[in-house]
């Protein structure tokens, strides 16, 4: 829990810096570059995260590797992260920054479960309708769940919108059973 809070604090500082300098695109690209680098080779991650290697060596290596690929302001942020020995939190910082940016831009990531893969037209209809319902720009993460039979299940945050055929059948069954019980009474 503490690491999440610290990562969020760093992300908020970077976000505020991005607001002041109109640099959100540069910072998002920089975070993507850094996290891709960390994910691409475990040796790079080990190099940055090990306490056995001095901060000065890590800073020099980071400048050499990324100076041409990231904005100078973002590089300064990365050097502060190294100085404060928070490099293990880079993925969490990136995740929290993306969340802040999505919130600012009115974007909402939703998990959409369907019985089969949608075509382009169906996907656009889903995006359009969910954007209308939520009042935000929806970014769907579609997964196929053959057990759904049909319909759609949407999850975001702590909300679930279940429009699946299975849910409708269960609801219909409950109504029929309630009516049968009421008629007997």
Whole-model pTM over 0.75 = no
The answer on 159 and 87 residing in a single domain is no
Boundary (domain end) residue, out of 58, 74, 103: 103
For the chain, the domain total comes to: 2
The answer on 130 and 62 residing in a single domain is no
The answer on 44 and 84 residing in a single domain is yes
The answer on 115 and 86 residing in a single domain is no
The answer on 120 and 98 residing in a single domain is no
Half-sphere exposure of 10 (CA within 13 A, CB side): 28
The answer on 141 and 68 residing in a single domain is no
The answer on 95 and 27 residing in a single domain is yes
Cβ contacts of 49 within 8 Å, gap of 6 or more: 87, 88
pLDDT in single tens digits along all 185 residues of the chain = 587 899 999 999 999 999 999 999 999 999 999 999 999 999 999 999 999 999 999 999 999 999 899 999 999 999 999 999 999 999 999 999 999 999 999 999 999 999 889 999 999 999 999 999 999 999 999 999 988 888 889 999 889 888 877 777 787 878 888 877 777 76
Six token digits for residue 126: 């889903």
- Domain extent, residue 171, equals 109-184
């Amino acid at each position: 829990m503490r690491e999440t809070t610290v990562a969020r604090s760093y992300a908020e500082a970077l976000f505020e810096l991005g607001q002041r300098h109109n640099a959100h695109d540069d910072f998002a690209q920089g975070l993507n570059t850094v996290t891709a680098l960390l994910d691409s080779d475990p040796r790079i991650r080990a190099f940055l995260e090990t306490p056995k290697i001095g901060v000065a060596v890590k800073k020099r290596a980071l400048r050499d590797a990324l100076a041409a690929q990231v904005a100078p302001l973002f590089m300064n942020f990365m050097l502060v992260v190294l100085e404060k020995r928070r490099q293990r939190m880079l993925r969490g910082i990136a995740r929290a920054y993306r969340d802040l940016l999505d919130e600012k831009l009115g974007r909402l990531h939703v998990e959409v479960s369907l019985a089969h893969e949608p075509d382009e037209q169906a996907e656009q209809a889903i995006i359009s309708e969910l954007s209308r319902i939520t009042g935000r720009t929806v970014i769907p993460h579609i997964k196929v769940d053959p057990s759904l039979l049909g319909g759609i299940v949407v999850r975001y945050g702590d909300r679930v919108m279940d429009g699946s055929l299975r849910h409708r059948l269960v609801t219909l069954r409950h109504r029929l059973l309630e009516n049968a019980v009421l008629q007997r009474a």
